[in-house]
Each structure stands twice: as C-alpha cells, then as structure tokens.
Amino acid sequence: MIALIQRVTEARVEVDGAVVGAIGRGVLALVGVERGDAEAQAERLVEKVLGYRIFPDADGKMNLSLLDIKGELLAVPQFTLAADTKSGTRAGFSTAAAPEVGRRLFEKFVLLSSQKQLHVKTGNFGADMRVSLVNDGPVTFWLQASPAVR
C-alpha cells in the first residue's frame, strides 16, 4: 500500500459539490492499494502515516508525529498511486488492486486510524472527488508499506 502524505493546515474533499470530509491541522493522506496487498500492509501503513515525524517541535525540527500533536487525518482513496508509469506517456493500472480489494483495504486503513483516538475523515471510494488543501511547509512524503507482490 502507498500513501502520499501532506502536512496541512486544512484540507477538504468534495463529491458532487458537497463537502464529504474536512480537517484542520493534520495530514492529508492519498491512499493507493497495489495488487498483492493485504491487511498486513494496511496495518503497517497506518503505523507509518500516524507515526511519521513531520510536525515541528519547539525547536522547529520535524520531530513530532500526527499522534504526538493530536492532529486530524483526511484519508482519500486514490488508485492512481498504484499506476505503472515506467514506460510510455499513459499510465497502466495492472499493478493496482482490484476495486473490491482496494475498498476493503482502504476501509481497514480508516478503521485502524480511527481506533487511535484521531479525528478521521475520508473521501468516497470510487467517486469523482475534488480535493483542496493548504500544504504546510510544503511538506510532502511518499510512504510505502511492504512492497506488494508484482
């Protein structure tokens, strides 16, 4: 599984013009599921996203995690993160998990994150979404949990 995380001062996701999820200070996580991923990858990715030290401490160094600051999480499913872009000028999606697997593992990611006493909001799986954010820094990281079998 993959997460592109961004430290934000605010973020929101809209579907059909209606806000379905919005947060203040925290992390926007775009989450992709690759073929071969399982619950173990979802569990590991939650640990990485919530524990990754991207927030400044009193000295301005990135030493605090989302859990440390009791921030908010906006998780947005994004299958295009699992695209194969190695050749040509058009992405291939044979490396992405099947939709039913992607949905199940994204929901597992959200459930596990919610159990950590965080304010968690989400986008809608399979929907055409509009994501808005204020990237703080900017700070953006690509995290991957145990590479999927290809």
What confidence score (pLDDT) does residue 15 get?
97
55 in active site: no
Q: Identify whether 149 is part of a domain.
A: no
CATH of the domain at 39: 3.50.80.10
Q: Identify whether 44 is part of a domain.
A: yes
What confidence score (pLDDT) does residue 117 get?
85
Per residue in 104-146, pLDDT tens? 999 999 999 999 989 999 999 999 999 999 999 999 999 999 7
Who's near 25: CB < 8 A, 6+ residues apart? 8, 9, 10, 69, 71, 72, 136
What confidence score (pLDDT) does residue 97 get?
93
Which one of the listed residues 80, 85, 93, 115 is annotated catalytic?
Answer: 80
What confidence score (pLDDT) does residue 147 get?
55
Could you tell me where the beta strands, DSSP code E, fall in the chain?
A: 2-15, 18-23, 26-32, 55-56, 62-64, 72-77, 119-122, 129-144
Per residue in 81-94, pLDDT tens? 988 888 899 998 98
Q: Is residue 148's pLDDT more than 80?
A: no
Angle between helix 99-114 and 39-51 (nearest 10):
40
Which one of the listed residues 6, 41, 78, 122 is annotated catalytic?
Answer: 78
Per residue in 11-60, pLDDT tens? 999 999 999 999 999 999 999 999 999 999 999 999 999 999 999 999 99
Distance between CA atoms of residues 139 and 118, nearest Å: 20
Q: Identify whether 7 is part of a domain.
A: yes
Which one of the listed residues 55, 79, 109, 125 is annotated catalytic?
Answer: 79
User: Per the confidence metrics, is the pTM higher than 0.85?
Assistant: yes
Q: For the chain, what is the domain count?
A: 1
What confidence score (pLDDT) does residue 18 get?
97
What range does the domain containing 18 cover?
2-144
79 in active site: yes
Q: What is the mean pLDDT of the chain?
A: 94
